[in-house]
Amino acid sequence: MLQKINDLLNEVSSISVKNSEELELFRLKYLSKKGLLAELFEDFKNVPGLEKKDIGQKLNLLKQNALEKFNSLKSGFQNQEETIDGKDLTRPSFPYSIGSRHPISIVRNELIDIFTRIGFTVSEGPEIEDDDHVFTKLNFAPEHPARDMQDTFYISRLSSEDSSPEDILLRTHTSSVQVRVMQNQKPPIRTISPGRVFRNEAISARAHCIFHQVEGLYIDENVSFADLRQTLLFFAREMFGKDTKIRLRPSYFPFTEPSAEMDVSCKICGGKGCNVCKHTGWLEILGCGMVHPNVLEACNIDSKKYTGFAFGMGIERAAMLKYGVNDLRLYFENDLRFLDQFKTAF
């Protein structure tokens, strides 16, 4: 039996095939259920115990060599079938598919265009931030729930045994960029801060742990809440159409006082009610308010001389309303069937 295995090893190593039909004959002869290898494994049961080790090793080597030979020959034939004269037959035919901008990029650029037309500049900052810029200078109390791990992705936490000077985290809003602007620029300030933010939230049709924001800040002498409302009304009608209505509801944010949340009339259902607007006909689009004097003072701006307003919105939410998308998760799944619908949008 050992001599037969050695003969087959030499035979397998030297064999060659010219086409797929001969390759199939090779498989049937050596690797099929009724092939030579199957017969040898059946006969192996009758090998004396003292010889089993040597013969078993040779038999396994034969099986391995036969499989490697078959796979190598098969791969060679597949490559030949896919190319003719150096041409890849699996390559898509002309015309090539034209790509498109992602809907988030489209809406982000549109938001920037709307606000730059009324004098706002664009400011950007780091996504990995410190506690001072994300929370402390924005009037967040040490015990504020937004600092809790359930809302914030911390990279390192300050503890009594830690000698590091500050907590490092992924920013939860782009207000941290506004803090940097106020620290390095004297009023008047009129800026928007687009960017990606992170919050430790459950992913659903209405929420995600990663999303994009645009936040605005205007600081000057004699800035009022009426200025804020007119700015936001201009934005809503430029973004969603001249018939868009807005409403401001009292709210609370540590960095603004008074604070409000702005709703726009739901374009998805036309005000009739749907799962996106929670069947109210209104969709919450942003938070806003007058900049808290504590924030101005923390950034070395005289709160007795200057006032200002701030607002912030999720780009995904604006895109949902603009394009009638009812599930926020679609923006992150890279489904070409979804993305191809935006080829004509620029």
Name residues whose C-beta falls within 8 Å of residue 177's C-beta, 6 or more positions apart in sequence. 123, 124, 125, 193, 195, 215
Q: What pLDDT sits at residue 92?
A: 66
Among 260, 251, 254, 257, which Cα is nearest to 142's? 254
Most confident of 59-73, 178-192, 320-334: 178-192
Q: Say what percent of the chain tops pLDDT 90.
A: 41
Name residues whose C-beta falls within 8 Å of residue 246's C-beta, 6 or more positions apart in sequence. 232, 233, 236, 262, 263, 264, 265
* Residue 212 banded pLDDT, cuts 50, 70, 90: very high
Would you say residue 161 has pLDDT above 90?
Answer: no
Q: What pLDDT sits at residue 50?
A: 77
* Residue 18 banded pLDDT, cuts 50, 70, 90: confident
* Residue 37 banded pLDDT, cuts 50, 70, 90: confident
pLDDT digits (tens, 9 = 90+) for 258-293: 999 999 888 777 777 777 677 888 888 899 999 999
Among 264, 245, 243, 252, which Cα is nearest to 317's? 264
Would you say residue 88 has pLDDT above 70?
Answer: no
* Residue 89 banded pLDDT, cuts 50, 70, 90: low
Would you say residue 218 has pLDDT above 90?
Answer: yes
Q: What pLDDT sits at residue 46?
A: 80
Name residues whose C-beta falls within 8 Å of residue 201's C-beta, 6 or more positions apart in sequence. 151, 207, 208, 209
Phi, psi of 40 (to 5 degrees): -65, -40
Tokens of residue 21, six digits: 């039909």
Would you say residue 163 has pLDDT above 50?
Answer: no
Quote the pTM value.
0.66
Fold classification of 103-127+170-342 (topology level): BirA Bifunctional Protein; domain 2 (3.30.930)
- Yes or no: say if 45 and 10 are a contact pair by the CB < 8 Å rule: no
Task: Tally Cβ neighbours within 10 Å of residue 64.
Answer: 10
pLDDT digits (tens, 9 = 90+) for 123-157: 999 999 999 999 999 999 888 887 776 688 888 76
Q: Give the C-alpha separation, 330 to 98, whole Å.
A: 20
Comparing 196 with 283, the larger pLDDT belongs to 196
Helix (H, G, I), strand (E, B) or coil at 4: helix
CA atoms within 13 A on the CB side of 119: 8
Q: Tell me the H-state helices in 172-266.
A: 175-184, 225-240
